[in-house]
Each structure stands twice: as structure tokens, then as C-alpha cells.
Amino acid sequence: MKNIKFKSVAVTGQDAIRTKYSAVQLGYYNDPFVQFFVQNPRKSQPIMNRGYFARVYSIEKLILQFLNVSKKIKEKNKEEKKDENFQNVVPQIVSLGSGLDTTFWRISQDEKFSSFQFRYFEVDLDQVNAKKIDVILKHKELSSIIGCEEKNNQKKEEQIEEILHGSKSGFFLDRKNAEIISSKYSLISGDLCALDSIIERMKIHKINFEAPTIFFSECSLVYLDPKYSDAIIGWIAKDFHVVFFANYEHINPNDPFGKRMLLNFEKRNAPLLGIHQYPSLSSQIQRLKDAGFVFAGADDMLSIYNRFSTSDEVDRLVIQKIQKLEFFDELEEWNLIMRHYMISWGVKIESEFIDLVSEFFHL
């Protein structure tokens, strides 16, 4: 990214993977794939383990809800015999600033997701993707889920066409651009500050602008100057026919804790460039509405986590389980930290399907 040093981004990314690995090792959630990406693993503090559980669980929940809504839209479309072509489109999941994240592998092997077809895209800097490719190729547990690497003398474009149309089940490895293309998974290299380039790369990977799509970002867009992140969000809302968006990032920079939080990131040479323009839940919601999303919401992570403990039985049982994993006496600090992170979500969809969104897409 133009205004961030790659090394600083890499350090924060490795910190995230290290904490996720710690949480997995202690049983907060299941992820047999994170072990392959972690370097110098160490046990994180209970407050960090629980916080990362809340982050992972929330994003996964929104992705699952998106797939359910997409399925119901298809069913309604079929009942009303509207658009026969729509029945053949596959929902798409796009991770912006994906780093070494393992969501694709985790949900590909998760029983909750087994009834859904989807294409998964990851977008990050080529330096980050090159490291990810090395790990993927090193471990069959990762590469086998994508398929075998296709190696032949065909032209690149011909190989990609055959892979994406299903006549080949493997993947195409583009070492020069640090990219992977398969029918299930695409790893795309690009600077989020250079939107035109990202769009061109996505077109090469055959993203479908007519298919239901969810974009999500975990602590990525907040590192950008708002003119770049706003351009991305505006493009998503404008160019995709049925699109969902979820963004996990920091808020409340102006209270004492928020100021300390900002200073900590600045010391690591990774300033939160977007936080002052969108410092609150209301500004985050308005941001999505201004971009063109017809439905928008946001909440801080403390409220979201507390709702999990009082909502449906599945969420309650999960929260009860994780709260028994470690001795936890940091409630005051927990409440403070969790009020400084939020998830915002937006949807652009035809008005007749809004009832499905309000019923199935929320935290």
C-alpha cells in the first residue's frame, strides 16, 4: 500500500495469526490450518484469545448468513420464474487485505458450510501473497483443497478458461504476479490504494458482477487513507448487482483509551489512517449509506459478544463453552477494549428481498 510500509503490515498480520493460533490451541474455535501459517507461536493473554474468538466467530456468522440469504434469493427467484440464468450463478466471498487468513480452508471443511457452493477470492499485496503461496505449496493439507497445480504447455489464458469452466479441477499458479486461480479459490495481488488495478485483476480471475457477493475486511481498510477505502466501498456498492459488505475495525479514537490505542499503532509504523473520518458507529453506518448500500448497520464488539450470550441456543452454548476455557478476571479492560472495535455491514439488493436481509443478515 502506498502509505504503509510492507514490513509493518506483515508484522501486524503475523500478530493476528499468532493470536488466532493461540486461541485455536486452547479450544476457542476449530482451525486445523492456522498452524501452517504461524511463526514463533506463543500463548496469548486470555483477553486476546477471547477477543479474537469474537472477531472470527462474528465474521464467520455473517458469511454463513450471506450464503443462506443467497440461497433463499435463488429459491424465491425460481418460484417466481424470474431469471433462469440466476439459478446457475455461484455466490462469491471476497476478503480484502486477506494476509495469511485461513477462512477459506476453514469454511471449506466446516460442516455448517457443506451445503453451499461458493467461489472465494483473497486480495493482498504481492509480497504477502508470495509468502502465502509458499505455505500453500509446502502443505498438502492446504493445496489439496484447492486442487493439484496444472502444469502444461497451454497458454495461460487457455488454462485459466479451462479451470474456471470446470474442465480441469486443479489450479493455475502465476508466480510472476503471486496469484492462484482455481474454480474454488483465487488469490489476487494488488494494492488496495490502486483500485483500477484491483478491478482489472479481478476481471482476469473472472469475478461475476451479477452473482451474489460478500466483501469483508478485518482491520485492513482502516490502515488506508479514507479516499482509497471510500473508493473501494463505493465501487463495491455501484458495480455489483447483489452485494453484501462487512468491515471489522477500530473506533472511538478520541477518548483516553482510544488515544493510547492510536499511539501504539503509530509506534509500530502502522497508523490507523481512516479512524478519524469514521470514528463512531453512526459515522460508519452513514459511510455505507453514502456509498449506495440500501441497508446498513454497525455495532461495537462488546454489544455483539453480549448478544451472542443471550441470543439463540447455538450461540449461547458456544459462549458458555469458551468462557470456561481460561481464568478471566479482566472484565473492566475487556469492556473497554471491545468498545473500541466494531463491525459494520451493508447490503445492496432489490427491495423485494429486503425482508430476507433483515431476517437473516445481522449480528
Per the annotation, binding residues for S-adenosyl-L-methionine are 55, 97, 191-192, 218
DSSP codes, 143-193:
HHHH-PBP-SSS-HHHHHHHHHTTS--SEEEETTTTEEEESSEEEEE--TT
Name the amino acid, one letter, at 257. Answer: F
C-alpha cell at 281: 458507529
Contacts of 114 by beta carbon, 8 Å cutoff, 6+ apart = none
What is the enclosing helix (H) or strand (E) of 87? none
CA 187, chain centre distance (Å): 13
Number of H helices, E strands in the chain: 14, 9
**DSSP 8-state secondary structure symbol assigned to residue 255:** S
Task: Judge residue 79's burial from the number of C-beta atoms within 10 Å of its C-beta, 0-12 exposed, 13-18 middle, 19 or more buried.
Answer: exposed
β-bridge pairing 213-218 and 92-96: parallel
Q: Using CA of residue 85, residue 203, residue 93, residue 293, what is the dihedral sign?
A: negative
Report d(CA 149, CA 140) in Å as an integer.
Answer: 11
Contact 34, 185 (CB under 8 A): no
Q: Residue 237, SS3?
A: helix
Point out the annotated binding site: 55, 97, 191-192, 218
C-alpha cell at 300: 461495537
Name the amino acid, one letter, at 227. Answer: K
Report d(CA 96, CA 201) in Å as an integer.
Answer: 13
Task: Judge residue 293's burial from the number of C-beta atoms within 10 Å of its C-beta, 0-12 exposed, 13-18 middle, 19 or more buried.
Answer: buried
